[in-house]
Amino acid sequence: MSKTIIDTNFNFPNQKSVYKGKVREVYNINDEQLVMIATDRLSAFDVVMPKGIPYKGQILNQIATKMMKETEDLVPNWLVATPDPNVAVGHLCTPFKVEMVIRGYMSGHAAREYKAGKRLLCGVPMPEGMKENDKFPEPIITPATKAEKGDHDEDISREDILKRGIVSQEDYQVLEDYTRKLFQRGTEIAAERGLILVDTKYEFGKTKDGKIVLIDEIHTPDSSRYFYADGYEDRQDRGEAQKQLSKEFVRQWLIANGFQGLEGQSVPFMSDEYIETVSDRYIELYENITGDTFERGDISDIQGRIEANVLAYLEK
């Protein structure tokens, strides 16, 4: 597993600072541009797993950048260039401290809350009589606050976001509008590829001139949940689990091995064989979501490759 990128420590020209998230590392260049590197780290239940997944960073970066290009006519985004398979370069933005989660189906976190008897999620009512993976009458927006490092993101209602002044009412209306437009386009793109976009999250920021833009990732298997459309209705009618394309398979493996990120729980051991199956699954996700054949990047020296490609871009 040595041919993965877990951590970076670059020093690019005019570099001002580095922010290290759960999966991505963001280098501030001269307070103008951000160089965002997608590592091979795997995060689940807001915990970073001890081993990296080969090609995962490349997969996430290439899906996100492709999807940004496929939605830029609807919603402006931060992206300027992709000088390396694992790297996106874009405008410096101030991120909003909320994640805009939108759900078309009652799955994942929503289903777990529903099973626990809750009928209100982030202030939004969920109808009675639903079963797991049923479609909501209309997609619902269930925001989460951006957690500080190491903490869980928390559900929050629109009312609380406005009351606490996390986002202004004017800006929040734009975030909601953009979220619905992106989800509709993502649903259409997924349908063309025989998939159902179940739920996803979007993150937004403000450029120096005050423009709200889409940042981070979009429609990746880490930020989204997909079902295969073929057989969806039959599986629901029979009460069977849906065939999924998302990181949910990792979460389910962790749950089955006694881990949900709760206090006192330890991450179960991941063998190299299991890591390889996760990598293969991510490649399958990439090919299904994008409709393209995945072309593996050169991983003989990922750090050197990224550094050379970013330096060549910055020198331009």
Of 152-161, 172-181, 195-204, minimum mean pLDDT range: 152-161
What tokens were used for 201? 């999250």
Q: Taking the CA atoms of the chain, what radius of gyration do you get in angstroms?
A: 19
**Does residue 1 lie in a domain region?**
no
**Does residue 5 lie in a domain region?**
no
pLDDT digits (tens, 9 = 90+) for 213-246: 999 899 998 889 999 999 999 999 999 999 887 7
**Does residue 76 lie in a domain region?**
yes
Instruction: For residues 25 and 115, give the distance between their C-alpha atoms in angstroms, rounded to a whole number.
Output: 36
The answer to whether the CB of 143 falls within 8 A of the CB of 202 is no
* Same-domain status, 206 and 224: yes
* Residue 96 backbone dihedrals phi, psi, to 5 degrees: -75, 145
Which has the higher per-residue pLDDT, 247 or 234? Answer: 234
**Does residue 265 lie in a domain region?**
no
The answer to whether the CB of 139 falls within 8 A of the CB of 103 is yes
What is the structure's pLDDT at 2? 52
What is the structure's pLDDT at 316? 85
How buried is residue 73: exposed, middle or buried, by Cβ count under 10 Å (0-12/13-18/19+)? exposed
Of 120-124, 200-204, 270-274, minimum mean pLDDT range: 270-274
Range of the domain at 295: 15-94+270-315
Of 69-73, 147-151, 271-275, minimum mean pLDDT range: 147-151
What is the average per-residue pLDDT within 176-192?
97
Instruction: For residues 179 and 66, give the distance between their C-alpha atoms in angstroms, rounded to a whole number.
Output: 18
What is the average per-residue pLDDT within 56-63?
96
Q: What is the CATH number of the domain that holds 86?
A: 3.30.200.20
* Same-domain status, 102 and 242: yes
pLDDT digits (tens, 9 = 90+) for 283-314: 988 999 999 999 999 999 999 999 999 999 99
pLDDT digits (tens, 9 = 90+) for 84-122: 999 999 999 999 999 999 999 999 899 999 999 999 999
Q: What is the CATH number of the domain that holds 138?
A: 3.30.470.20
Q: What is the mean pLDDT of the chain?
A: 93
Residue 23 has pLDDT above 70, yes or no: yes
DSSP reduced 3-state for 172: helix
